[in-house]
Amino acid sequence: MNIKPIITKAEQKIQPRFKALEDTALFNQHKVLSALKNNRVALRHFAGTTGYGYDDAGRDNLFKVYSEVFGAEAAIVSYNITCGSHALKVALYGILRPGDTMLAITGKPYDTMDITIFGDGDKDNGSLKDFGVMYKQIDLKDGKFDEKAILEEVAKNPKIIFLQRSKGYSLRDALSIEQIEDIIKKIRTVNKTGFIFVDNCYCEFVDMREPCEVGADIAVGSLIKNPGGGIVPTGGYIVGTQRAIALIATSHTSPSLGLEVGSNEQGYRLLYQGLFMAPHIVLQSLKGGLLIAQTMEDLGFEVFPKAQEPMYDIVRDIKFKTKQELVNFCVGIQHASPVDSFVDPEPWDMPGYIDQVIMAAGTFVQGASIELSCDAPIREPYILYLQGGLTYEHVKLALNEAIGNLRK
């Protein structure tokens, strides 16, 4: 099969959609640039610190920049947050106390949060369940909020009302910022005090507004996803109200120290620069995702969301008929990677996941999902979750190789 004409034809179909994506990227670039200028970022803010990190100007100013960009009152941004799941854990443990209830209104959270929330059988591993936190869940109905059930439950005053903006390992569209804004307004008619908590992973800069700008108390994400711009080596962020961040700071460090401490000897340049680059890099990922979706649809595969549907995160789901098809496509993506291109990924017992997982991530930053990567739990239906792409051109080349490997 000659794959290049198929990709070229798909590219022609999606070209009219690029202008809207570019407009969003320009808006978000202006937002980030304004925050850097308004907070008078200077070379001195890139310098590292050691020990306790008292009076760390680079750290403290970075918090202000993130607060402004994400429409929040306060922020925590740290290399010491190891991943998105860790950022979620830090925030949840900062807010929740024994006897409190966490209410998830978008169904079950991402697989890596299972043990954090539910525990691991009879093991005492410090899960929320071990600490006496109760959990309730309301599933989405046809991809939409079950408003009646939600309003009944939030009236019972759960401490946290949890929304996962991206799809995770579920076959649904990500939430639009308009959907989030609407449900927050409705929640606030019956519950004024619960912390509305949004897992923002994979969604930053996809829209012109972020969750805290539409009423969320807390939004959390990973720096090796969208806001790191493809160059931040690790870390996570938490943004929100002063009330929320003050509580979460006690979990991030300790109750007696809060945000007064926290050093970073290697400095902060990459954190500032990555945020500056993020709107453009997200644009590359979104364009690449459109090309992948249209091409795979043209080849007869089911893709979620479809190429002509709105995008609310950087993830594309591709449904394969067999495990081998999924594995072959994943291997093709790895072979087109700039790092470890010679490796054949195989399903394995990946930490934090219930099922075996296959992952193609030949990335400069290990596992960075703003770089072109894909992963899938090995279970039916065989759905591959593909995200990222630092450049549209790379996505195009990798797609050609993945489809070629699929047909072997």
**How distant is the alpha carbon of residue 312 from its chain centre?**
11
Model pLDDT, residue 121: 81
Contact (CB, 8 A) for 181 and 213 = no
Residue 112's φ and ψ, nearest 5 degrees, are -70, -10
Low-confidence ranges of the chain (pLDDT < 50): none
Burial category of 300 from C-beta neighbours within 10 Å (exposed 0-12, middle 13-18, buried 19 and up): exposed
Distance CA 395, CA 294 (A): 13
Return the structure tokens found at 185: 């307004």
pLDDT in tens, 35-68: 999 999 999 999 999 999 999 999 999 999 999 9
Give me the long-range contacts of 356-360 (CB less than 8 A, separation at least 24): 358/326, 358/327, 358/330, 359/330, 360/330, 360/331, 360/333, 360/334
Model pLDDT, residue 1: 67
pLDDT in tens, 292-324: 999 999 999 999 999 999 999 999 999 999 999
Model pLDDT, residue 177: 98
Distance CA 128, CA 231 (A): 33
